[in-house]
Structure 1
Amino acid sequence: MAGLWLACRRPRGSSASWTRPCGPRDNSFSAVRGRAPGQIPASFRSRKGVGERFETLRHELRKGLGLLTGLVVLSTPAFISAQVKSSTAQSPDRAALSEKIVRYLRERFGVPETVKLTVGAFKNSFDPNLFDVTVTVDDGKEKKEQKLLISKDGRHLIVGEVYSLSSDPTDAAMRAISTRDQPAQGPPEAPVTIVEYADLECPMCARLHEFLESDLLGKYANKVRIVFKEFPLVAIHDWAQRAAVASQCAYQINPGAFVAYRSLVFRNQSSINATNSRDMLLNLAAQVGIDSLKLTVCLDSQASRPRVEEDIREGKQIGVVSTPTCFVNGRMIVGMPGPETFYRAVEEALHARQ
């Protein structure tokens, strides 16, 4: 298994193949785990934007604990089931509990006072002993939301997703994924739908896109449809968000040129950086016939950002934490484990439809 977890970015001059999805580094969780409240690694503190740091830590938590996060909610380590001391077993005052949550999050995640943390309404959750709470993180530039579970006695705060063991994850994913008015390639009536969550700055996403377009679609002709979703990893990729917005703008302006544009962006990854990304994205769009003026207006106004945010929300809901992540008729495949894995998944999906 160790060979599957190489660094996300290709070292300069390296010709090594890519087998690892883009996401937080493997050593991040071990570097953070076990530190006292308020202590976080210097590399983590130096990331741009507190919202991004909060998002990165959340990814580290989920990556380090995998799907167990939220399943053993009251017996997990301190980071996931963090005890918030209370002087009474009775349900505490909501305002006081909100202040306690904010104070704890600031100490644990190193969030400065300049960043506003707002605790939303306490709602009943799937468990009668827990509240669903959403905390909004606002650094003045953008807002991010983090869902928490709070024990009703005010003693525990739980970070992570909760997965139901009473439903089939494949069926749940198919129900949660929207395929209407989405950029896609292949016939709508195809018996197999592959939904790809990708980051346009992710090297493995570029490899997977080439494989899906050149090999898999050619092999299965009209039997497969691919639906493209945006999942920019803004905590580790500095132009991914802009590219995701440009991609969705391109779809809205000229749906027929979407796949060609996406392919061109992937092929030119090495030439794009945070400084030139706007100009590069516009120039590449012009090469495939997308109206430059319309794309400029859409990109600069971020008119398509709600579509990107909806893709991210949807992906997180069904367990996406790294890119690329695909769902073959609801079956999750993370990264690019090899062509045979995709062929087998398609064959099984076709067999199930017979």
Structure 2
Amino acid sequence: MTGSTPSSPASPSSSRPPSASRRSRRRTVAALAVLAAAAVTAAFALTLDDADNREEKAGEPAAVTASAAPAPADEGLLALARRDASDPLAIGRADAPVVLIEYSDFQCPFCGRFARETKPELLRSYVDKGTLRIEWRNFPIFGEESEQAALAGWAAGRQNKFWEFHDVAYGKPRERNTGAFDAENLVAMAREAGIADIERFQADMASDEARGAVRADQEEGYTLGVTSTPAFLVNGRPILGAQPTDTFEEAVETAAKAAKTANTTKGAGR
């Protein structure tokens, strides 16, 4: 990492004025935060790389899940949960004890499998009961149609129809980059999803705000080391690929127990 380093003061640290000491402490804290963030990023990237290697050997996606007695999730990854009650690209209570963050592409077949087979079970068993919140992150990796579908999903969210659009887009398997997600078909999906103002939908799709939002999600994923879809964080612990539903159920239940234990410990310490 490059950059200038502040020169050391001539007098010993014990004689520094209070303001200088405070500045030094702030710099130290900032440096530690940078190092911690780097460690989190490296750990996540290595976990995904290891999963990719196992996927190549086995011929199918590999899961990275919590063990029966997992170590506490890294605070840096836990902090990625936005928990914004007004976020149209999220479903479930903002204060749910478990947050599943999903990095997905609308053209990804494994993402579609998760949407059709696993997500409905998670909604019934955990989201509807207040245990789980799902937060979507746009991570288009298959070219222009993926980009346009991501923009369309964001635009649907502006009319509080993201999840309806999501279900239509993933409603059946579609061939990648064959026009299934061209402008005409995206408008047809929007209509099927119940989006009333199509002109606004198209304007929102074309907006700089939409592109900025999609880019921010992508950059978050790339910073973590995500290179394929779908990729998930369940309270900060990664799962790669469209794993069987029970893999996600186990991860959610483990995370919920850990959250309950942590809250009980905090309460006892007051």
Query: Normalised by the shorter chain, which TM-score bucket?
Result: 0.5 to 0.7
Q: Which amino acid aligns with 2:137?
A: K
- Indicate whether 1:216 and 2:122 are aligned: yes
> CA deviation digits over 1:297-352, x for unaligned, max 9?
12234540100011011112222211101111111101022222111111111111
Q: Which amino acid aligns with 2:77?
A: A
Show the counterpart of 1:349. 255
**Secondary structure at the residue paired with 2:39?**
coil
**Against the structure 1 CA distance between its residues 166 and 339, is the aligned structure 2 distance closer, same or farther, given a 3 Å change threshold?**
closer
| Greater helix share, structure number | 2
Give the alignment's TM-score, normalised by structure 2. Answer: 0.64
Identity over aligned residues, as a percent? 28
Q: Is it true that 1:309 corresponds to 2:238 in the alignment?
A: no
Which amino acid counterpart does residue 136 of structure 2 have in structure 1? F
Structure 2: distance between partners of 1:169 and 1:351: 13
Relative to 1, partners in 2 of residues 1:190 and 1:162: Cα closer, same or farther, differing over 3 Å? Answer: closer
What is the TM-score of this pair, normalised by structure 1?
0.50
> In the aligned structure 2, how far is the partner of 1:330 from the partner of 1:238?
30
1:249 positional shift: 1.1
- Give 2:113's aligned residue: 207
Letter in 2 for 1:296: Q
Say whether 1:286 aligns with 2:191.
yes
The letter of the residue matching 1:288 is A
The structure with the greater share of residues assigned to strand is: 1
Residue 3 of structure 2 aligns with which residue?
123
Match of 1:321 in 2: 227
Aligned residues, how many?
195
Paired residue secondary structure (1:270): coil
**Secondary structure class of the residue paired with 1:353:** helix
- Contact preservation (8 Å) 1:201, 1:237: no
Q: 1:203 to 1:122 in 2, by over 3 A?
A: same
Q: How far apart are residue 122 of structure 1 and its match?
A: 4.6
Does structure 1 residue 263 correspond to structure 2 residue 167? yes
Partner Cα separation in structure 1 for residue 225 and residue 173 of structure 2? 26
Counterparts of residues 168-183 of structure 1 (less than 5 Å): 170-180=74-84, 181-182=86-87, 183=89
After TM superposition, give the deviation of residue 197 of structure 1 in Å.
0.6
Q: What per-residue deviation string (whole Å, max 9, x for no partner) do you get for residues 133-187 of structure 1?
A: xxxxxxxxxxxxxxxxxxxxxxxxxxxx953589976322112343435311122
1:230 aligns with 2:138: yes
How far does the alpha carbon of each residue in 1:179-203 deviate from its partner, in whole angstroms, 9 at most, with x for none?
4353111222221111111000000
DSSP 3-state at the match of 1:163: helix
CA distance in 1, matches of 2:255, 2:144: 36
1:269–1:295 Cα change, 3 Å:
farther
RMSD between aligned residues = 2.8
Task: State the secondary structure of the residue aligned to 2:174.
Answer: helix
Aligned counterparts of 1:302 and 1:343: Cα–Cα separation in 2: 38
1:238–1:274 Cα contact (<8 Å) kept: no
